Structure 1
Amino acid sequence: MLERGLAVLLALAMVTSGCIGVPSSDGELDEASVEATDPAGAFTGPVEPGELSQPVHELDRMVETFLPTHDGTQIHTAEYHPNASGETPVVIQLSPYFGNLDAEPQAQHGSYWTQVLVERGYTVVHASVRGTGYSEGCFQLGGEDEIQDAHDIVKHYHEADWSNGNVSMIGISYPGTTPWQAAITDPPGLKTVVPMQGISDMYRYDHVDGASYTHGPAFPTYYTALVDWTLVPGNAEGPQHLLPPLDAFCPGAADRIEKGYETMAVGTHDEFWDEREYEAQLDQVDVPVFLVHGFQDWNVDPDNGVPLVDDLPANSKTWIGQWEHNIPFANTYNEDWSRHDWNMTMVAWFDRWLKGVDNGVTEREPVLVQDDAGHWYRADTWPPEDREPRQLFLAGDGRLMDEAPPSEVRRMAKDPSNAATEAPTDAEQARGPESLRFTSDPLAEDTLVTGRPTLSLDVAIDQPDGHLVADLYDEDAEDGPKWLGHAILNLAHRQTRDARTPVPQDQFVSVEMQFFPMNSFVPEDHRLRLELRPEAPDWIHPSPFSPTYEVQLGGEDPAQLSFTDLDDPGFEPAPERGQVPWST
């Protein structure tokens, strides 16, 4: 039964980890495998001579190595070398998926990068995170030794005698997280990083402002089992296939597992999460970053990565599109919105920073962003800095108004029985409904709700804690509501996620809720609708408390929704197949 359960976990990993293409069993790159997985076929399109590295190389050799790191732990790598003369630049994918999910280096996950880059004269390296695959050590879920490993691996390939000394790191999901680890340690030779759908703050992968996602408490357990399912120190002979007795667990493994459930109970961002908050060290990143993330990625939610856009180093670039946990050329949210130019843009980026080609890839506005109607536009910052926020006030009659309404208090409550089929008692009716709705007048013009809207209000509860959830909708009379995004808060963490402050019972406290990043096009004559509720069971574990909520509307400090409204950003069409938009 145990082995069967692990097999299920492995199957799930294959679905979710972004496996895109594989080399053939003899180690030769299989052109057909990449063509089949890139429906856009962008990297095969025509380009102007000299603008882009051409696919004129073949795989020369694959070399497996074990690299000693700072504490002596050996990290397993597989190097894919092109048949190019002279020294070559290096692109690394540091991943926990190699080996355990694909046992042989010839069948490793990241072969998409290998296919596209090796044939253009880059050496691609697949490195297994410590404690995973064939690497030694204990998996740390992004801890300090893993961070230092990223530094050591980059330094090694900067100094390799066949390397031109210029190194980058790229990946998606967890392999899109490790580029942040490398960047904050500033290793010699690191010229750029490309984090795609990566985690910039591990706490926010599992939790949000004191509330725990439904996967949150179990994540350190099942994920450790997924990528290092021996839970014992790795060794050069490769993954084991049986779980050990408890006394053989890696040091710290039990603590990491316990931490998920502890944080679910208290919601606190503590030293464990501090160690894994890479974005807090963004000021130490000195290399250009090509940041890629999706507004519809609810695996690594858009509050990872996307809020960092305006704080990236000089010469950085950002693509934020309406895709899920995807590479831009394969948009599963809307296949028609796939970016046919992704592969060429990626190669152009590496040509600029690893080969020194002055190709103009950094000359356009640094941010390319898509709204949820499919429109693309470019910007110098995101969200725009020169726009005054727009306010809509919550009124007791259920309206969202341009002017502050008269003072009024509205009630709501979480049904403690969760028995929707039972008629509420008189006492339950007195506590109020399970949600409060507020709807605007029809919009006078097309509106682009962009950035991270905020909701400010005063609330009182009759218990020491509870959740508060706000959902924002685009409401159309014909098609009904379209969900735009949400904000979630554990009220005991209203001041900071770093500490709990119990709510004084039956006293109003001021809270500010921040919505997840959005870029939502709301057409003229549609309405905005805001809904407040105590819980979001599809997203978060419910609070053990079931308070009655009183929400202060109007008055001296009125409840209000604030958002950036962008009128006309200058939409541009997505490129057709074979175009090179970064040069136009």
Structure 2
Amino acid sequence: MPKRVRARRPRFLRSTLVIAATAALVLTGVLPSNAAQATRPSTTAAADSGHPVRESKPVYAYDTAVRESVWVDTGFDGDGDGKNDRVGVDIVRPREPAAQGRKVPVIMDASPYYSCCGRGNESQKKTYDAQGNPIGFPLYYDNYFVPRGYAFVAVDLAGTNRSDGCVDVGGRSDIQSAKAVIDWLNGRAHAYTTRTGTARTQASWTNGRTGMIGKSWDGTIANGVAATGVRGLETIVPISAISSWYDYYFSKGAPLYDSGPEWLSDYVDSPEARARCAAVQKRLVDEAPRTGDWTRLWDERNYVPDARKVKASVFVVHGMQDLNVRMQHVGPWWDALGKAGVDRKIWLSQTGHVDPFDFRRATWVTTLHRWFDHELLGYDNGIDREPMADIERAPDQWSTSATWPPRTTAATTLRPATGTQSGVGTLGLRPATGTETFTDDPGRNETDWAAQIDRSTPDKAGFTTKPLTRDLRLSGSSRVTVTATPSTPTAHLSAVLVDLGPATIRDYGASGEGISTLPDRTCWGASTPGDSACYKETAAKKADVGATVVSRGWADLGNYASDRTGRPLTPGKRYTITLDLGATDHVVPAGHRLALIVAGTDQDLIDPPADRPTLTLDLARTSAKVPFVGGAAAFARATSGTATAAPHTTGRDQVHPPRATHRIPGGSAS
């Protein structure tokens, strides 16, 4: 698709600084007497040069900050009552700047979860006093940033909490809920002091410069709003966010969950919305068929084609083992943003669906502070000259990459072949012939397959390289093309890349998805009696394993002719389809092996087909394109010579099997 390249600030291409893991300042309050200092830029010394760097400081009083609610006219009638929907917006902002004639930027989190489910690791909800005035705001954004001269704006999506309208799960109503607020902040929309009244109010206290942030559905809304190109949105920080809602529910026709978006909307709808949104619910059912066929509903909820409209910078955070919002949402969005010339930064962790506040807290708060200072206040603090990517290699062990994926990365075609030993196929650069056969077993999953890679089992076809003689890095998205003959009219396929060898990883399949919540609390900003800045600490939950799944993908073989429409299969006929595996960044160490596994249903990660097929792979027409740093030459060097294989422990070791722990893009660690 065409992409428009625009002149922008310097992109994150040069590795001239290293982000220090600096402990964030712990605040229990701020001194009002310091407020006058806010008219003078604060400075700190840059780590690399000694030159002063501007940094926002906690000079405003949090306890006397303005806390108010407004209702913004969305210009959209989602519930069909003949009136424009109004969305509830709760605001907390420092009181002093307005008295000084200064305007402040906005950090905004638009969410459907503020009343139904809560936000963050401790499931915090908004709280109000008896008159309906906001008292408590979930998460630390208000506590930390309001004393530093930012406003925090918490938006209830249409159909949730105190908003009119209906939840339409990533569609026009969801996106317009948040976009209208940015328009109001920039003087282009109307807001009212009450939900039904006529008294208008203006956002005269802000300069309109807005940064959106949020995890899961919240981050998804940030993606969608940025894709409208709305003026005033300067940056977004999508955490574990969706880029295409079809890919949340299906993977080339293979269903990932046993329900569609109507379940989600019903889960977060306010009681009033449930009573008036039957038409929206019906559309979510009718236009999201369980066949996995692509409809116009999915076009409306696919933000990737509109990456060319994005004017905001984008700081992506995602867990490489997120089995809720899977890594398939990262690669296409990231690549499209790059083609559009968007300023980008990325963190990739070993966790599942977890916020960086809960897996790298001190460094995250410091980095986010610098990011917003740069993007919303315009401070030259050097963050735009630092490495583009931070990648977790082992629990709490991070590396950086100047660009992501690295410029030397090239897709390399690997070909599976029948091995000389029983049950052990090979994986290499040379074309092969022959066949492999397996039968779909819906009770088996990728952990089972990897544990038995060196044994012939009826539920999979497995292929491995020789033990590597040097480290080999994968960076980006892989594709596996499979030619298979099914025995039944329906068949699902899974393809996984596996690092075979001992390692200590985050236990992403367990409760917490790679973190343990501890009883002790640390504080990240100023507190009031109704809004604490103190949160439970966390630690990495680790597991010793003999194999690590690096990347995975799925498809309904019936989608062989089209990504958008499935067809019945003719038993005994050969079909070819390409599976898109999620993006990753993983180093396979010397002594380990890289494996490709092709199988049927990946238990708990996709739903099984109507039949239980046996599939025969044509190996001459089956291959994997894998993004190696250094390309085919790097793979050839790593697989040349003789190396001693690192022990590969069979069984599950100490890791929990993968499981779809959530049916919503949120959950207890949301």
Matching residue within 428, 450, 462 for 1:437? 462
Instruction: State which of 579, 587, 591 in structure 2 corresponds to 1:513.
Output: 579
Match of 1:42 among 12, 17, 24: 24
Is contact 1:201–1:277 with CA below 8 Å preserved after alignment?
Answer: yes
Aligned counterparts of 2:386 and 2:217: Cα–Cα separation in 1: 29
Q: Could you tell me which residue of structure 2 aligns to residue 161 of structure 1?
A: 204
Seen in structure 2, the aligned counterparts of structure 1 residues 442 and 153 have a Cα distance that, compared at 3 Å, is: same
Counterpart CA distance in 2 for 1:496 and 1:109 is 46
Describe the shift of the 1:476–1:187 C-alpha distance in structure 2 as closer, same or farther (beyond 3 A): closer
Q: Which residue number in structure 1 is paired with residue 440 of structure 2?
A: 414
CA pair 186-443 structure 1, distance change in 2 beyond 3 A: same
Cα deviation digits, residues 158-181 of structure 1 (max 9, x gap): 232111221221111111111112
Post-superposition CA distance 1:456-489 (Å, at most 9, x none): 2321113333101122222238963222232211
Greater shift in the superposed pair: 220-229 or 287-296 = 220-229
Deviation at 1:122, TM superposition (A): 0.3
Matched residue SS, 2:92: strand
Partner of 1:87: 103
Aligned residue for 2:356, secondary structure, equals coil
Work out which of the residue numbers 282, 294, 297 in structure 2 matches 1:272: 297
Whole-angstrom distance in 2 between the partners of 1:120 and 1:111: 16
- 2:59 is matched with 56
Q: How does 1:266-345 map to 2 (within 5 A)?
A: 266-312=291-337, 313-331=341-359, 338=360, 340-345=362-367
Unaligned runs of 5+ in 1: 1-38, 234-242, 332-337, 420-431, 569-584
Change (3 A) 1:41 1:495: farther
1:212 partnered with 2:255: yes
Is contact 2:475-2:583 (8 Å) kept? yes
- Correspondence 1:73 to 2:92: no
**Partner of residue 359 from structure 1, selected from 360, 381, 394:** 381
Secondary structure of 1:58's counterpart equals coil
Secondary structure of 2:313's partner? coil
**1:552, distance to aligned residue in structure 2 (A):** 0.9
Assess if the C-alpha contact under 8 Å between 1:40 and 1:329 holds in 2.
no
Which residue identity lines up with residue 384 of structure 1 in the other structure? P
CA separation in 2, counterparts of 1:43 and 1:209? Answer: 47
User: 2:255 is matched by which residue type in structure 1?
Assistant: S
- 8 A Cα contact 1:154 1:182, kept in partner: no
CA contact (8 A) 1:193 1:289 kept: yes
TM-score, normalized by length of structure 2?
A: 0.68
| TM-score normalised by structure 1 residue count | 0.77
Paired with 1:545 and 1:563, the residues of 2 have a C-alpha distance of 31
In structure 2, the CA distance between the partners of 1:161 and 1:222, relative to structure 1 (3 Å rule), is same
State the match for 1:175 in structure 2. 218
Deviation at 1:295, TM superposition (A): 0.9
Decide which of 411, 414, 436 is 1:392's aligned counterpart: 414
Q: Name the structure 1 match of 2:115.
A: 99
| 3-state SS in 2 of match to 1:510 | strand
Q: Displacement of 1:78 after TM fit?
A: 0.8
Q: CA deviation at 1:505?
A: 3.4
Q: For the residues of structure 1 that align with 2:268 and 2:477, how far apart are their CA atoms? A: 34
CA distance in 2, matches of 1:474, 1:188: 45
Q: What 5-or-longer segments of structure 2 have no aligned partner?
A: 1-20, 28-42, 46-51, 77-83, 118-124, 129-133, 188-202, 445-456, 504-544, 635-670
3-state SS, counterpart of residue 362 of structure 1: helix
Identify the match of residue 390 of structure 2 among 361, 368, 373. 368
Which residue is equivalent to 1:472?
Answer: 497
Superposed CA offset, 1:5-41 (max 9, x none) = xxxxxxxxxxxxxxxxxxxxxxxxxxxxxxxxxx985
Task: Give the alignment partner of residue 552 of structure 1, picking from 618, 622, 625.
Answer: 618
Q: Counterparts of 1:387 and 1:103 in 2: how far apart (Å)?
A: 45
1:120 Cα offset (Å): 0.7
Contact map agreement 2:497 2:596 (CA 8 A) in 1: yes
Look up the equivalent residue of 1:530 and give its one-letter code: L
- Could you say which residue in structure 2 is the equivalent of 1:199? 242
In structure 2, the residue matched to 1:223 is: 264
Instruction: Return closer, same or farther for 1:403/1:131 CA change in 2, 3 Å cut-off.
Output: closer
CA offsets 1:217-265 (integer angstroms, 9 cap, x no match):
42524422321152x43xxxxxxxxx75xxx5442113324555x2x3x
* Conserved? CA contact 1:138–1:250, under 8 Å: no
Aligned equivalents of 2:126, 2:586: Cα separation in 1: 43
Query: What is the rounded CA distance, in whole Å, between the counterparts of 2:381 and 2:546 in structure 1?
Result: 47
**1:256 maps to what in 2?**
284
Alpha-carbon distance in 2 for matches of 1:541, 1:279:
26
Q: CA deviation at 1:278?
A: 1.3
> 8 Å contact 1:469–1:489 — kept in the other structure?
yes
1:93-113 deviation digits (Å, cap 9, x = unpaired): 111112344363446553311
Secondary structure at 2:493's aligned position in 1? strand
Residue 523 in structure 1 maps to residue 528 in structure 2: no
Match in the other structure for 2:481? 456
Percent identity of equivalent pairs: 26
Distance in 2 (CA, whole Å) between partners of 1:486 and 1:531 is: 10
- In the alignment, the residues of structure 2 paired with residue 158 and residue 249 of structure 1 have an alpha-carbon distance, to the nearest angstrom, of 30
In structure 2, how many angstroms separate the alpha carbons of the residues matched to 1:193 and 1:384? Answer: 23
Indicate which of 131, 139, 145 corresponds to 1:117. Answer: 145
The structure, 1 or 2, with the larger RCO (C-alpha pairs under 8 Å, 6+ apart) is 2
Letter in 2 for 1:42: A
**Aligned pair 1:484/2:554, yes or no?**
no
